[in-house]
Amino acid sequence: MKRIAHSIACLWILLLVGCGGHVPPQQFIVLLDTSGSIEPGAQADAVKAIGDLAKQLHRGDSIAVIPITSDAENETEGAVIRFTVPTTRKAYDQDLRRFNNQMHDALQRLAADAAAHPGIETDILGTLELARQELSASHSVNTGMIIVLSDFILEDQVHNFRTDPALANETSARNLADQLAKERHFTLHAQWVFLGGLRSKELRSLSEARRNAIRAFWDEYLRAAGAETQYATDGPGLLAEFLRIRDESSSR
């Protein structure tokens, strides 16, 4: 009986260790600002950072890249990049090479299209809603992450953060964020959102107070939706480091 009990105990330990070491597939949703205000060099850095991220994904992980356009609802169809890392390994990891090549080609097409047809406005709110739908469709509630690479200057049919009085200071910006989160019923349960800044001609022309208010708006809007946020002025440069730190903290 003691041997049987000991064997059962060992089996349970192995099962628990195995379960603890298992990392479920993750989904990464990248929102890329393709507006004309983003400096070409910054956009190239962003595309490279996304490509580097794709190379670090594990088997079963997926990535979607959604361009931030002037009208997310009407201009995004057919422009979203979606790939999943193969789960079945091929000889010499040929499947991973094919995945990386396809991802690289898709990103280059996206960059070329953005250069040829830069957006006039930036419907960031609408694009965040598309990101929420991507996560909901794949049921990636606890294993998804949203990455936004932008100057975060919202310009849609209602708001213009370059001139909106509500973005004159951080307090009124946070109040507007709370209001819009409630009006749009926007929720993100247990999601991480990385807010990565891109160099922008429009951002450079704004006062420091307005730039801080814009940052405060997005932090409040996403936190009101239930997300954890991390902001980096150099979005492409610090994305990899943020992901490394996040992975280390998640594994503890």
Q: Which domains does the chain have, with CATH numbers?
A: 27-250 (3.40.50.410)
**Cβ-proximal residues to 181 (8 Å cutoff; 6+ apart), any chain:** 220, 221, 224, 225
Helix 40-55 / helix 94-116 crossing angle, nearest 10 deg: 160
pLDDT in tens, 48-64: 999 999 999 999 999 99
Mind giving me the DSSP string for 128-174? HHHHHHHHHHTT-SSSEEEEEEE----BSSS-BTTT-GGGSSHHHHH
Query: How would residue 112 be classed by pLDDT, with cut points 50, 70 and 90?
Result: very high
Query: How would residue 88 be classed by pLDDT, with cut points 50, 70 and 90?
Result: confident
pTM: 0.86
pLDDT in tens, 157-187: 899 999 999 999 999 999 999 999 999 999 9
